[in-house]
Copies of this chain bind each other. A is one copy, B any other.
Amino acid sequence: MDDLKKYHETNKDRYLNELLAWLRIPSISADQKFKGDVEKAANYLADQFKTLGMDNVKIYPTKGHPIVYAEKSVSPDVPTVLVYGHYDVQPPDPLDLWSSPPFEPVIRDGKIFARGSCDDKGQVYMHVKALEAMMQNHSLPCNVKFMVEGEEEVGSNNLEIFCKEYKEMLDCDVILISDTSMISNDVPSITTGLRGLSYVEVEVTGPNKDLHSGVYGGAVANPVNVLCSMIDSLKDGNNHITIPGFYDQVELVSTEERASMNSAPFNEQAYKEELGIQAVMGESGYTTLERTTIRPTLDVNGIWGGYTGEGAKTVLPSKAHAKISMRLVPNQDPDEITRLFTAHFKSIAPAGVTVKVQAHHGGYPVVIPVDSIEYLAARQAMEKTFGKTPIPQRGGGSIPIVALFEKVLGVKSILLGFGLDSDDIHSPDEHFGLFNFYKGIETIPYFYQYYAQMKRDAPV
């Protein structure tokens, strides 16, 4: 692998500049205004694949944003790795909290600051450059396929259709995904679990028009007050979610696993200081690590209603809205949870209001086995480049597509992420360490090498 090391050394600045150019394209999938930029970002990636000399490079249109596909075959006798990632990004707001514009990447303190720098353009680009290095040095030990979508941040609504339609084209031995984080740069880890997601938007309507709060106040249900009460009632005093049936399918994690999980390095004081909070807050009976991994949640992601401008307006609004998401754990079914939420939320609405519930995207939780050849290859690759055995760790986020791959393609994924929880993905000042970017590019080829080896040596 020395040739690769040299190659990386010689080309690292170009690697970075190419990524920065990609980050300058505001590929915000949630907002139709940016549809053109999302396409531009797809084209940029496709051009990269063509330059690398990959085969069947194609941009597949969907009902939503397009999917970029490319492949390179070396031999029918070696395993095939399917790299999945996404080139779309979260909306950058609130914009005023960014130290520098989200789509004008800058390097500060050895980090790339830009929306998408870590989630997920930066991590996708590690794979592109690792592949370039292997191809340029004639050391690509596996067949490789890339499937990079533009709708991950809005629920990957069209990917299932795509996977079903192109099942054969996507045939592979393992799916490699870098869209997660490590514990720290000194404590490498591999994500062995993901939470699922149910995301709903609710609308509470009181009177058929905004009213004067003096003339009608006190006699007519105020949809904002009502929405607040309804949201409050979704959790009890122990921050236990009150939706009937919500916990029925929740997997009970063994005392042993909880113990080993809680033995992972975690400094609550540092955690609180990092977030500027006096105290953590969550479900009674569980640690912070458990609350963010093996337990489901219910969070309001957005709320609005009435007068939110400057000064004071004495209005009794007609409508109030909220976006509410629930993180799910094995074996909760997102569709079932969405059904339970909807039925319950409508059932608790008082007579003075009407309630609408709209389901956004959902995703299934997943657990990754730690005894598979795929996991062992990933572990060995990280050991090689970090000099430490990575810790298996469940993640709190959701990549709905991982469960989908198992269902549709029948293939397990490996979550080989190089970001950090402190990278502020989905927040202002999202960033990605140069150390992490380059470490990823260095580690990925070892995964290919060890994986090809292990498959070759594995008893058929």
A residues bordering B, Cβ < 8 Å? Answer: 29-32, 90-91, 93-94, 97, 153-155, 181, 195, 197, 199, 201, 206-222, 224-225, 227-229, 231-233, 235, 275-283, 288, 291-292, 295-318, 320-323, 325, 327, 350-354, 360-361, 395-398, 421, 424-429
Contacts and interface: CB of A to CB of B under 8 A. Distances in A.
A360 B287 CA distance: 41
Nearest to A306: B302
A211 B288 contact: no
A395 B216 CA distance: 10
Given A228-B228, A303-B305, A313-B426, 15 more contacts: A30-B310, A30-B311, A207-B277, A208-B275, A215-B395, A217-B292, A218-B295, A219-B281, A221-B277, A224-B302, A225-B232, A277-B352, A302-B305, A302-B315, A308-B323
A414 B304 CA distance: 39
A281 B350 contact: yes
Contacts of A429: 209
Q: How many copies does the complex hold?
A: 2
B426 A292 contact: no
Given A300-B228, A327-B213, A291 B219 contact: yes
A215 B419 CA distance: 12
A252 B281 CA distance: 43
A325 B316 CA distance: 10
B301 A313 contact: yes
The 9 closest A-B pairs by CB, nearest first: A214-B397, A208-B276, A30-B311, A302-B306, A218-B297, A279-B351, A281-B352, A221-B281, A224-B300
A396 B310 CA distance: 24
B216 A396 contact: yes
Contacts of A279: 221, 350-352
Contact of A313 (B208, B235, B312, B323): B323
A99 B200 CA distance: 31
A30 B308 CA distance: 12
Contacts of A292: 215-219
Contacts of A426: 210-213, 313-315
B31 A310 contact: yes
B206 A277 contact: yes
A322 to B, nearest CB: 8
A396 B323 contact: no
A314 B301 contact: yes
A360 B312 contact: yes
A308 B312 contact: no
Contacts of A303: 224, 228, 303-306, 308, 320
Nearest to A305: B303
Given A213-B327, A222-B300, A280-B220, A155 B315 contact: no
B301 A304 contact: no
Contacts of A93: 307, 309
30 contacts: A30-B310, A30-B313, A154-B312, A155-B312, A199-B312, A207-B275, A207-B277, A213-B426, A215-B397, A215-B421, A215-B425, A218-B292, A219-B280, A220-B277, A220-B281, A221-B281, A222-B299, A224-B299, A225-B299, A228-B231, A228-B300, A281-B352, A300-B305, A302-B309, A303-B303, A308-B323, A312-B323, A312-B360, A313-B426, A315-B427
